[in-house]
């Protein structure tokens, strides 16, 4: 167990530090890199440049970390068993936590979508120019969040109850597919916004999150890419931090103004936190497994025995 | 210890389960088919998800398609025309049709023609319906009808455009809220989303812009 801690620790520390730094830089950028009266981005603002550099360097560093691990795309290996976690409650706890957050986003987005739809209908009936948003994509995002919650719940369950080969984490494809609707809604909400810094970080975080979920699902669907999954999980955590800082700042502004927190930003915050937790679960589980592959060589049982017994004994 | 033994038995059972890559017996064959179907389904979903991600990123950073709303650009663009807009690395130039947003006027984007860019002077003579840029009268074959004095008065009509800004007007001059309107005025180029390059739909309106 001691040997397996080092790989996990280096990933968690690297990713956690980068995510924290990215969130703080985003707060600094919000405070300093936009003109107060127009909200337009100041060209060459220090905070924007440093944030961009940090994200690029973090991506490069995680590539180096991932390349240092074993685990080529060997479909015959039992990659679906990587996330069997008897004796290690962290992964299922994070997966279930992610499911709960996604589920909490459902009623929020549903209420927001219904409000938007009613406003649109009222404008049409009054014969005035209706708002560009008729609420349908927000309602679809709520449905997608429900799908994501079910998929994440199944991921946590699979982690606790190993099934037959191939059963494992295909449910991870559900939040990945649901991310498509969330992505469309996030783009639509900012389609007329000329300030890309306002929304591009969130779009990129959603895209990388979708890639992470799809690679996770591939582990049990005969298309494993473990090193890329590691990178995707790390980048999902890091890239989720700046938009999370943005929506939290918007929500605190709403609170200060006495506005309701039943807003699209609340849904975004919950979904970003959800994918962040799921990715953290993979970062907790996958590096020690790959490190064991480095030590044990081409054992196609998936390292199940070693992994589980090792962790079971620490539990007793 | 007894628990360890039970777990070892379970692990052996799991490890010995024939997988899709190994099974040769009927049960293994079914597992192989199941695994293959699962992999195919996964690969199809992955392609769709990847395509969606690529489309949205292209729309965000490179180019997008927008629908014209309102009559301000008639008769160059009509209500519900679908136009292709290029965003990546675009710098506004005189005569271009651009999509921009002035949030203090309206949240949705608007589409106008660039009349003058930073450093140029614009003078509008409503008596003759002529627009002068740096003292030269513009030859405007594209406008819908002769320009009249707008309902809001002369507004912004004798102005030097600051660097980093543009002066825009709709081709349907008498039904367009544009840089002449006091609430819109001179537009910062950072508010420009991109340049309209072509009308894509309906096909009867297809044209380069």
- Residues with Cβ within 8 Å of A124's Cβ and at least 6 positions away in sequence, in order, are A130
pLDDT tens digits along A6-37: 678 889 999 999 999 999 999 999 999 999 88
Q: Which residues of B touch A (CB under 8 A)?
A: 3-4, 7-8, 11, 14-15, 17, 19-22, 31, 34-36, 38-39, 41-43, 45-46, 48-50, 52-53, 56-57, 59-61, 64, 100-101, 103, 107-109, 188, 190-193
pLDDT tens digits along B13-58: 444 444 444 334 444 555 555 667 778 888 999 999 999 999 999 9
The minimal CB distance from B53 to the residues A200, A207, A222 is found for A207
Q: Which residues of B touch A187 (CB under 8 A)?
A: 56, 59-60
The residue of chain A nearest to residue B48, with distances taken between CA atoms, is A177
Interface predicted TM-score (ipTM): 0.83
**DSSP 3-state of B67:** strand
On whether the CB atoms of residues A180 and B52 are closer than 8 A, the answer is: yes
Residue burial A133-153, b: 16+ Cβ < 10 Å; e: rest: bbbebbbbbbebbbbbbbbbb
Both tokens assigned to B40: 């195919």
Q: Which residues of A touch B41 (CB under 8 A)?
A: 221
pLDDT tens digits along A26-72: 999 999 999 988 899 999 999 999 999 999 999 999 999 888 766 55
The residue of chain A nearest to residue B99, with distances taken between CA atoms, is A192
Contact B60 A221 (CB under 8 A): no
On whether the CB atoms of residues A226 and A7 are closer than 8 A, the answer is: no
pLDDT tens digits along B94-148: 999 999 998 888 888 999 999 999 999 999 999 899 999 999 999 999 998 889 9
| Catalytic residue (one of B32, B69, B109, B112) | B112
Q: What is the total count of domains within chain A?
A: 1
> Terminal CA-to-CA distance of chain A, rounded, Å?
14
Is the pLDDT at A294 greater than 60? The verdict is yes
Contact A221 B193 (CB under 8 A): no
Confidence at residue B17, expressed as pLDDT on a 0 to 100 scale: 44
Q: What dihedral do alpha carbons B155, B160, B163, B165 form, nearest 10°?
A: 20
Is the pLDDT at A163 greater than 70? The verdict is no
Question: What is the arithmetic mean of pLDDT over A272-294?
Answer: 88
* Fold entry, domain B63-208: Umud Fragment, subunit A (2.10.109)
Q: Which residues of B touch A40 (CB under 8 A)?
A: 188, 190-191
Is B109 tagged catalytic? Answer: no
Contact A177 B49 (CB under 8 A): yes
Confidence at residue A73, expressed as pLDDT on a 0 to 100 scale: 57
Task: Pick the residue of A222, A223, A311, A314 with the most B CBs within 10 A to test the interface with B by mutation.
Answer: A222
The residue of chain A nearest to residue B106, with distances taken between CA atoms, is A192
**DSSP 3-state of A40:** coil
The minimal CB distance from B49 to the residues A78, A170, A210 is found for A210
d(CA A251, CA A85): 36
The minimal CB distance from B101 to the residues A176, A194, A305 is found for A194
- Which secondary structure element, helix H or strand E, spans residue A223, and what is its range? none
Q: What percent of chain A has pLDDT over 90?
A: 62
Task: Pick the residue of B22, B39, B58, B185 with the most A CBs within 10 A to test the interface with A by mutation.
Answer: B39
Contact B31 A304 (CB under 8 A): no
DSSP lists the bridge partners of residue B97 as: B113
Its sign, for the CA torsion A201, A237, A246, A155, is positive
Chain B nearest CA to A25, separation (Å) = 22
Chain A nearest CA to B135, separation (Å) = 31
Beta-sheet strands, E only, within chain A: none
The minimal CB distance from B42 to the residues A76, A184, A221 is found for A221
The minimal CB distance from B38 to the residues A39, A191, A221 is found for A221
Q: Which residues of B touch A223 (CB under 8 A)?
A: 39, 42-43, 46
The minimal CB distance from A223 to the residues B34, B43, B60 is found for B43
- Which secondary structure element, helix H or strand E, spans residue A192, and what is its range? none
Confidence at residue A309, expressed as pLDDT on a 0 to 100 scale: 32
Q: Look at residues A55, A45, A44, A51 and name the one whose alpha carbon lies nearest to residue A24.
A: A51
Is B112 tagged catalytic? Answer: yes
Q: What dihedral do alpha carbons A272, A276, A278, A284 form, nearest 10°?
A: 180
Mean pLDDT over each residue of chain B, to the nearest integer = 84
What 8-state DSSP symbol labels residue B112? E
Domain that holds residue A275: 2-315
Domain boundaries, chain B: 2-60, 63-208
On whether the CB atoms of residues B151 and B117 are closer than 8 A, the answer is: no
On whether the CB atoms of residues B72 and B175 are closer than 8 A, the answer is: yes
Query: Parallel, antiparallel, or unpaired for β B192-201 and B97-100?
Result: antiparallel
pLDDT tens digits along B57-82: 999 999 999 999 889 999 899 999 99
Q: What dihedral do alpha carbons B117, B120, B125, B126 form, nearest 10°?
A: 20
Q: What dihedral do alpha carbons B155, B156, B158, B159 form, nearest 10°?
A: 160
- Residues with Cβ within 8 Å of B140's Cβ and at least 6 positions away in sequence, in order, are B131
On whether the CB atoms of residues A11 and A283 are closer than 8 A, the answer is: yes
Q: Look at residues A305, A1, A83 and name the one whose alpha carbon lies nearest to residue B7.
A: A305
The residue of chain A nearest to residue B8, with distances taken between CA atoms, is A305
Question: What is the arithmetic mean of pLDDT over B3-20?
Answer: 42
């Amino acid at each position: 167990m001691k040997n397996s801690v080092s790989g996990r620790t280096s990933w968690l520390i690297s990713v956690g530090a980068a995510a924290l730094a990215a969130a703080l830089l985003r707060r600094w950028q919000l405070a300093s890199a936009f003109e107060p009266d127009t909200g337009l981005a100041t060209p060459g603002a220090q905070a924007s440049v440093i944030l961009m550099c940090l994200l690029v360097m973090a991506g490069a560093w995680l590539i180096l970390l991932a390349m240092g691990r074993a685990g080529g795309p060997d479909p015959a290996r039992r990659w679906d068993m990587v996330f069997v976690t008897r004796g290690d409650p962290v992964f299922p706890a994070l997966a279930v936590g992610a499911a709960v957050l996604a589920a909490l986003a459902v009623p929020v987005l549903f209420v927001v979508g219904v409000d938007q739809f009613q406003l649109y209908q009222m404008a049409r009936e009054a014969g005035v120019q209706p708002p560009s948003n008729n609420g349908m994509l927000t309602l679809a995002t709520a449905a997608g969040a429900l799908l994501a919650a079910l998929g994440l719940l199944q991921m946590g369950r699979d982690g606790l109850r190993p099934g037959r080969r191939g059963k494992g984490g295909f449910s991870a494809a559900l939040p990945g597919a649901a991310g498509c609707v969330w992505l469309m809604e996030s783009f639509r909400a900012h389609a007329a916004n000329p300030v890309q810094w306002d929304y591009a970080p969130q779009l990129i975080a959603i895209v990388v999150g979708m890639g992470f979920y799809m690679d996770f699902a591939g582990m049990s669907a005969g298309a494993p890419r473990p090193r890329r999954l590691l990178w995707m999980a790390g980048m999902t955590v890091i890239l989720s931090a700046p938009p999370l800082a943005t929506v939290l700042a918007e929500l605190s502004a709403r609170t200060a103004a006495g506005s309701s927190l039943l807003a699209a930003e609340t849904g975004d915050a919950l979904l970003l936190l959800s994918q962040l937790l799921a990715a953290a679960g993979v970062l907790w589980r996958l590096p020690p497994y790959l490190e064991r592959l480095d030590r044990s060589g081409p054992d196609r049982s998936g390292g199940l025995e070693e992994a589980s017994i090792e962790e079971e004994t620490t539990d007793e | 210890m007894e628990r360890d033994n039970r777990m070892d038995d379970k692990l052996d059972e799991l490890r010995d389960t024939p997988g899709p890559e190994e099974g040769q017996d009927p049960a293994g064959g079914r597992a192989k088919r199941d695994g293959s179907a699962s992999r195919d389904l996964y690969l199809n979903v992955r392609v769709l998800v990847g395509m969606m991600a690529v489309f949205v990123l292209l729309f965000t950073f490179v180019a997008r398609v927008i629908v014209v709303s309102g009559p301000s650009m008639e008769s160059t663009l009509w209500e519900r025309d679908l136009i292709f807009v290029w965003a990546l690395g675009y710098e506004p130039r005189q005569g271009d049709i651009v999509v921009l947003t002035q949030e203090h006027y309206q949240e949705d984007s608007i589409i106008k023609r660039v009349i003058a860019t930073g450093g140029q002077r614009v003078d509008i003579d409503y008596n003759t319906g002529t627009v002068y840029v740096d003292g030269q009268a513009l030859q405007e074959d594209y406008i819908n009808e002769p320009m009249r004095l707008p309902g809001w008065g002369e507004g912004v009509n004798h102005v030097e455009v600051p660097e980093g800004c543009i002066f825009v007007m709709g081709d349907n001059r008498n039904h367009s809220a544009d840089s002449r309107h006091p609430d819109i005025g001179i537009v910062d180029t950072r508010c420009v989303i991109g340049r309209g390059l072509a009308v894509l739909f309906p096909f009867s309106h297809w044209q380069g812009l």
